């Protein structure tokens, strides 16, 4: 990935920081949209001086199309997009509030649609690109108690595969990873750490993601790749 420009959303999260570190280790220059100064500080705290020079931050609300358009307009070239933004809420379907359902789709599906839509146009103008989105094991093997999360992540998978069909015949690819529970501090806090040793390690998932974001993955299109750890 030497001298390639990779746009990574969600770079301040537990998975995001692992992807950012590995991308920098492989020589990439990074564009990181952040939602706040705090998010930026979280990433900067993990970078050494040389790495900081290869990271550009842009404060962006990825649920606002006008802000996504402004972001992409400021970037000269995007070789790869790694979209990690997402979230989940738990609850049985009967008692699940409509507001949470809509929030699940905004956070997981709408952000994916908007960033891919405008980055894809940019990539088409340059004739090259790698798009990697983040689904979930629950998208293809849903479990009870995650109705909005399962449905919105399933939409991410279908949308990504639709983009892969649209870009067939070009040097632009689109693929999606399907992790199970990721071993992050936030997940350990929310669910305990009794079986965390079975969860997917962020560093392991980052390897898969950045392979798909590299030129080496030129022949992989529309793949939904499970990364399930030992769960």
Domain boundaries, the chain: 5-227
Question: What average pLDDT values come out for the chain (231 residues) when binned by 10 residues?
Answer: 96 94 96 93 87 94 97 96 92 95 97 98 97 96 93 98 98 97 86 89 96 97 95 76
CATH class (in words) of the domain with range 5-227? alpha beta
The answer to whether the CB of 167 falls within 8 A of the CB of 122 is no
CA distance 118 to 214: 20
State how far the alpha carbon of 182 is from the alpha carbons of 61, 103, 110, 137, 209, in Å: 24, 21, 22, 11, 14
Q: What tens digit of pLDDT does each residue of 24-71 get?
A: 999 999 999 999 999 999 899 888 888 889 999 999 999 999 999 999
**Does the pTM of the predicted model rise above 0.75?**
yes
């Amino acid at each position: 990935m030497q001298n390639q420009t990779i746009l990574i959303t969600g770079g301040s999260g537990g998975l995001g920081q692992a992807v950012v570190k590995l991308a920098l280790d492989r020589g990439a220059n990074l564009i990181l949209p952040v939602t706040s100064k705090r998010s930026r500080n979280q990433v900067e705290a993990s970078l050494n001086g040389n790495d900081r020079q290869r990271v550009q931050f842009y404060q962006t609300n990825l649920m606002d199309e006008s802000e996504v358009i402004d972001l992409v307009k400021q970037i000269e070239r995007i070789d790869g997009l790694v979209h990690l933004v997402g979230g989940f809420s738990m609850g049985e379907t009967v008692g699940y509030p409509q507001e949470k359902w809509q929030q699940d789709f905004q956070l997981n599906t709408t952000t994916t649609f908007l960033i891919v839509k405008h980055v894809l146009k940019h990539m088409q103008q340059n004739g090259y690109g790698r798009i990697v989105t983040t689904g979930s094991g629950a998208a293809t093997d849903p479990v009870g108690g995650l109705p909005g999360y399962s449905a919105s992540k399933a939409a991410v998978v279908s949308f990504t595969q639709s983009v892969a069909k649209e870009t067939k015949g070009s040097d632009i690819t689109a693929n999606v990873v399907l992790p199970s529970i990721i071993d992050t501090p936030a997940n350990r806090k929310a669910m305990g750490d009794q079986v965390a040793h079975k969860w997917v390690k962020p560093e392991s998932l980052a390897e898969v993601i950045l392979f798909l974001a590299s030129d080496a993955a030129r022949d992989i299109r529309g793949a939904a790749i499970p990364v399930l750890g030992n769960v």
